[in-house]
Structure 1
Amino acid sequence: MVKIFIDPGHGGTDPGAVGNGLQEKNLTLQIATRIKDILVAEYNNVTIKMSRTGDTFPSLNDRTDQANAWGADFFLSVHINSGGGTGYEDFIYTSTGQAAKTYQDNIHAAIMKLVDFKDRGQKTGNLHVLRESSMPALLTESGFIDSATDSAKLKTATFIESLARGHVNGIVKSFSLTKKSTAVYHTVVNGDTVYALSRTYGSTANQIKDWNGLDADYTIKVGQTLRVK
């Protein structure tokens, strides 16, 4: 089981960066929560713990202490930038192992593939959550809240979804996560056979037989609904 610790930056009395009607603490929680929801709903063998799930402010020590005590395999800290720039960048610790660099490569590439942000590059930094976490760690900075262009994108649900999906796709590649199987059902029409359905939907004939309790002759009836994948 892969253990991912997700840290939405700031929170509570600390809004983080503020600009263009947005607060960093709200955006980081939206993105982080969506990352968690996608991973839990769509992928096998992954469990998530978050440093906060509401508008609270864990200290920096609280965040890394939680992750270390839990024995996380990866620490992801989600932030929004400010200071007059534009675009996306991410950070690993100044002296770190190959795993953190590989995860940074994967997540950076996956995010840039899905979002229309200037690529500010992959960087290193002596930041608490990167330095004090016992596992590979990455801090992402998804746009500048004080940029009119970036903030306009951050105000849209579709862009937040793309940011979350980018993070997820990079995590999936980093840890070789597999997708949960999704059952597909088919209502039998005249002329359907189990063998034709197995070719169409990618199931084996025996799987269809076993899933639906068919007899030894694979007998199906018109109007019967079968699980086929």
Structure 2
Amino acid sequence: MKIYLDPGHGGSDPGAAGNGLQEKNVTLAIALRINDILLKEYANAETRLSRMTDKTVSLQERTDDANSWGADLFVSIHTNAFDGTAYGYEDYIYSGLSDESVTALYQRIIHQEVIKLNGLRDRGMKKANFHVLRETAMPAILTENGFIDHAGDSAKMKSAAWIEQTARGHVNGIAVCLGLTKNDTSLYKVTMDGGQIGAYQEKDDVLNVISSNWDSFQTAEIVKG
């Protein structure tokens, strides 16, 4: 599946600014992390970015590139600004689409997954006549990841952990929308008193089995492989 990632603004167009931050840098950080996760963790994900550095790219260039590549999904990443008092996360699809469209379904999925992880106020799902939503030939969503001129939201944007969580939310939504499959992952093999009792994919499962058998073993070993 082809995912086109569009970090908003760049180069001579810094986008919104506030609290020592520029939108073009925040959006690029999120997009690059989304790209890394998709390529490393999913077997059937192919990506392209409108920019991978701080360079100027026109709106027409972005949509033309995505259309000619034949992307299955276009995700444009932005931050918001108003007057320093507004805050939270919202996302947009093209205003000419119905609530029953595939794009609207994708918006609901991605919105839900991002909100789970980004720690921002939920400002809802919206529609707009933005160029990148109107001129794309595939489902397209534009995410507004907080208000850069709001003290609370911008403080989050300065955190590498927040960038990671926001990227993860986007990836989780994209994966559900496009039916992405995870790469084979290593298992955690648990041995107690010299005998293997199981192999688990999730760390929480390892912790649960250790905890539930806490009083019944002298030594435990966890081997990832």
User: TM-score with structure 2 length normalisation?
Assistant: 0.83
Distance, in Å, in 2 between the alignment partners of 1:182 and 1:112 is 26
CA deviations on 1:84-105 (whole Å, 9 max, x unpaired) are 2110000000122611111100
Q: How does 1:195-214 map to 2 (within 5 A)?
A: 200-201=198-199
Rg comparison, structure with higher value: 1
Distance, in Å, in 1 between the alignment partners of 2:26 and 2:180 is 26
CA drift at 1:202: 6.5
CA deviations on 1:142-195 (whole Å, 9 max, x unpaired) are 000000111011111111111101101111111121211123486999965xxx
User: TM-score with structure 1 length normalisation?
Assistant: 0.82
Which of these residues, 101, 108, 113, is aligned with residue 111 of structure 2? 108
User: Does residue 117 of structure 2 align to residue 117 of structure 1?
Assistant: no
Q: Name the structure 2 match of 1:30.
A: 29
Q: Name the structure 1 match of 2:97.
A: 96
Question: Do 1:17 and 1:145's aligned partners in 2 also have CA atoms closer than 8 Å?
Answer: yes
Distance, in Å, in 2 between the alignment partners of 1:131 and 1:181 is 37
User: Does residue 157 of structure 2 align to residue 154 of structure 1?
Assistant: yes
Count residues in correspondence: 200
Structure 2 CA distance for partners of 1:186 and 1:27, relative to 1, 3 Å? same
CA deviations on 1:182-220 (whole Å, 9 max, x unpaired) are 23486999965xxxx5x71279xxxxxxxxxxxxxxxxx
SS in structure 1 of the partner of residue 3 of structure 2:
strand
Distance, in Å, in 2 between the alignment partners of 1:24 and 1:76 is 16
Q: Name the structure 2 match of 1:40.
A: 39
Identity of aligned residues (%): 52
User: Does residue 66 of structure 2 align to residue 67 of structure 1?
Assistant: yes
SS in structure 1 of the partner of residue 173 of structure 2:
helix
Structure 2 CA distance for partners of 1:86 and 1:71, relative to 1, 3 Å? same
SS in structure 2 of the partner of residue 182 of structure 1:
coil
Which of these residues, 169, 173, 189, is aligned with residue 176 of structure 2? 173
Supply the RMSD in Å over aligned alpha carbons: 2.2
Q: Which runs of no fewer than 5 residues in structure 2 stay unpaired?
A: 202-222
CA deviations on 1:62-117 (whole Å, 9 max, x unpaired) are 00000000000000000000012110000000122611111100110011111221
CA drift at 1:36: 0.6
Structure 2 CA distance for partners of 1:18 and 1:44, relative to 1, 3 Å? same
Q: Which runs of no fewer than 5 residues in structure 1 stay unpaired?
A: 204-226
CA drift at 1:49: 0.2
